[in-house]
Chain A
């Protein structure tokens, strides 16, 4: 009950936030935080819960971005509708990816997702007539003010959160964890591993693509390097690791920490900004690989830990 009350309070605060804060910069920052929370949560479903570390989620992000933008520019379809077309396309795209790569384990899987995302990028870059090639696409229409964007990304993030939460809390969540811990053992116990992995992949691709469409409409300009870059994939991963891989709230917490820091560094030097992503990954993997949320939970559930003598863990 207490949890529900807290959740409702948090939601209420998020909803009235733009009414309290009118500074453009803070609104922009909160939009970015929500976007990365969305991306992180989606990635986390496949990476954290299922243990399949994908370096290629940028493929879905970019697909979402390009689909809604091309539909807008060529057919005048509103990006708020177009984004669902993009998400469906990403979903369809994820199927051959899964088929190709899920028979591989561990690092092989990770590398092949990277290769896949790169191939998609190369195709988009060269398919000049459709995508504008290296120069990308510009959106000239007015898509609304910053407050509208805030509410849209808030809605998307909350929707993703609820869907993933439902997913994870159901039996499926146990299946995913089992696959992550030991796929062969899970299969031996009757978990349909491949099917579950595909489902996790499909859901995460869907939401990541929605994020991509949103990003395109917000930035009003995309090109293959912007939306298919491995940097996008890396950002999703950092946010999740810092917050807590395999936890629901982790990516949101991670986004809340990383995004403002990243913006701060960007204002110091445009290069320092991506550098902190690398730094955070390294530092967290060294000292706190479980992420902040997990660490906090662990500390909270062992209130007398400091009274125990140091025995083996």
Chain B
């Protein structure tokens, strides 16, 4: 009789001992040892510094988490920031400086599309892997670069959710006014949309390529007001995005829908600077993750807790980029630039931003297929928060249409 009880008792005892054993074993030791350096180029100062701050926060949060959990094979990762002020010549100098440092194993970031392209060219020449997490111009992954990988959607994907919304919901929109900044980004998101509009029977009443960072947009908006369009489509960065919306409000511009193309329209600074004028303004572009996905939710909560504002597209991209790099570093045969490149190419990872896998399709190379994964979304500012509103499967709330811009 005693022997029959012996086995279950032994198992139970072992089970009870296990937690005690792990207490003595300790939690995973935080990483120590020589840091693995990843270089990044961001606007840390200048008119676009607000964006650089987001990546600074997101990258460091991710790196801190990874390092607290033991780092990569015991070594911590460290992000090395270089300031580009979002100026293309400074971005190039910064990239070259990073590349010349042999301890830097890979590059990421760039922020604006123009910088992304330049960095990609440098990466291709110097044989160092470059992970694009935000620059969106199609050409960055349509030039056949072998050393550049992009996890975020290309510019031409940006307006797709808006197109769907117009076809399926806001069917009374007939005319559109397009105001876009004279940059790779502005042209990259607007020109495909413009083409789609003409092909689908919409009338483009105003199409203006404007020089960014102007002090006054009243004249431009007055032109738009004169045409009274149903849709006002904007491709701008901060501070222009806020200024344009403020002055549009001031002038009494009230189309059925005002929609920005990500960038300056999908960040907290937009609502801070534009205030209530920005209420019911839409933004179409990369998402900040599926709100129903637990990874995305977890990121939202901990980010808000640490920094006091909700992460959106930039923070999600930056945070996920570091995890993609860490994953590649773990799989890499060594920390040489070539091996990291090889490991990065084989990425197949689920991140808060969504699935990341670098594919070749329709002329793109090493591009994460955001269209297939639904990583672009139409969102809207309601009650000072940006909510996904279209398509329905990732919507957080119903769209307010027509927008109330009075």
Contact = CB atoms under 8 A, between A and B. Distances in A.
Nearest to B117: A138
A289 interface: no
Contact of A138 (B90, B118, B183): B118
Interface string B80-95: 0001000111101000
B121 interface: yes
Contact of B92 (A135, A221, A270): A221
Contact of A128 (B90, B121, B209, B212): B209
B211 A135 contact: no
Contacts of A133: 182-183, 209
Contact of A223 (B83, B88, B211): B88
A125 B182 contact: yes
Given A138-B117, A138-B121, A270-B83, A223 B89 contact: yes
Interface in B187-219: 209, 211-212
Interface in B201-244: 209, 211-212
A270 B88 contact: no
Nearest to B185: A135
A126 B214 CA distance: 14
Interface residues of A, number: 15
A127 B7 CA distance: 85
Contact of A125 (B88, B90, B92, B211): B211
Nearest to B83: A270
Most-contacted residue by chain B among A125, A128, A135 (CB, 10 A): A135
Contact of B183 (A134, A219, A225, A226): A134
A135 B184 contact: yes
B215 to A, nearest CB: 15
A221 B211 contact: no
Contacts of B121: 138, 140
Interface in B134-182: 181-182
A136 interface: yes
Interface string B105-117: 0000000001001
B183 A135 contact: yes
Given A128-B182, A135-B114, A226 B89 contact: yes
A134 B211 contact: yes
Given A125-B182, A128-B182, A221-B118, A135 B209 contact: no
B88 A221 contact: yes
A221 B88 CA distance: 9
B118 A126 contact: no
Interface of B: 83, 87-90, 92, 114, 117-118, 121, 181-184, 209, 211-212
Q: What are the 10 tightest A-B residue pairs by CB atom distance, in nearest-first order?
A: A134-B182, A135-B114, A135-B184, A133-B182, A134-B183, A226-B89, A221-B92, A135-B183, A223-B88, A221-B89
25 contacts: A125-B182, A126-B211, A128-B182, A128-B209, A133-B183, A134-B181, A134-B182, A134-B183, A134-B212, A135-B88, A135-B183, A135-B184, A136-B88, A136-B114, A138-B117, A138-B118, A138-B121, A219-B89, A221-B89, A221-B92, A221-B118, A223-B88, A223-B89, A225-B87, A270-B83
Given A126-B182, A221-B89, 12 more contacts: A125-B211, A128-B182, A133-B182, A134-B181, A134-B183, A134-B211, A135-B184, A136-B88, A140-B121, A223-B88, A225-B87, A226-B89
